[in-house]
Amino acid sequence: MSIVSQDKVRLNVKVNDKYEAIRIAGQLLVDAGHVPSEYVDKMIERERSLSTYMGGGLAIPHGTNEAKALIKSTGLSVVIVPDGVDFGEGERANLIIGIAAAGDEHLEILTNVAMLVSEEEDMKRILNASSEAELVDIFESGLDA
């Protein structure tokens, strides 16, 4: 099972708030079999206690530490919100990457994702991807680096 795949990608999503965006990202992980539905609640709980906004239009919602036991396999979901969604204090996220990381893979994945979006042109490529397949290709090439 691929960490990121077309069934875990949504382009051109419109949301009312960050919690709706997180629920969409989490549900993609549930639908792909990486986590049970309770994990989504833990993603919301994490966001309420500590923002997962990383800067530069990127948010990486994930479950609480207690939620790690719920994770069946490592997976990423990618949600593109062209209009952006407020993650608090005027910070707007256009790229929401849901993470469920089994074992100790969490930090490695976060590092790879951060590297993937650190360059402005890479972020533009991601946000302007014309299809789920194109987005998966960008992530797969970046995550394997």
**Distance, CA of 116 to CA of 75 (rounded, Å):** 16
62 carries an active-site annotation: yes
- Helix axis angle for 105-117 and 120-127, nearest 10°, is 100
Candidate list 24, 28, 62, 109, residue with the active-site label = 62
126-131: long-range pairs with CB below 8 Å, 24+: 126/78, 126/80, 126/95, 127/57, 127/80, 127/82, 127/94, 127/95, 129/11, 129/80, 131/11
Cα 136 to Cα 21, 110, 142, distances in angstroms = 19, 17, 10
Residues with a known catalytic role? 62
